[in-house]
Amino acid sequence: MRPLLLSGGLALIWFVQFQVDMEGDVPVWGVAAVIAVRLFVDFVGAWLALSTVRLVYTAGRLGWMRLRAHR
């Protein structure tokens, strides 16, 4: 699966799970801006999380291959 698509899916899941209610006298454009920024931050966070997992997995495989090569 492509990391970009997976990041987008995770971002949408996190966005829906952790909704914050905005109370008070907030203009419509303010609500839209907050929603857009939160979705973007969720996307970047998911992308970083996936990149970290892929990096750890690749480093583990490389380490395992080097360990087996020395035997």
Compute the distance between CA of residue 14 and CA of residue 68 in angstroms, rounded to an integer.
39
Please name the residues in contact with 52: beta carbons below 8 A apart, sequence gap of 6 or more.
none
pLDDT of 58 reads 94
H-assigned helices in 1-71: 3-17, 28-69
pLDDT of 62 reads 95
Contact by Cβ (8 Å): 11, 42: yes
Mean pLDDT by 10 residues, the chain (71 residues): 74 74 76 82 83 92 91 73
pLDDT of 16 reads 73
pLDDT of 20 reads 67
pLDDT of 1 reads 58
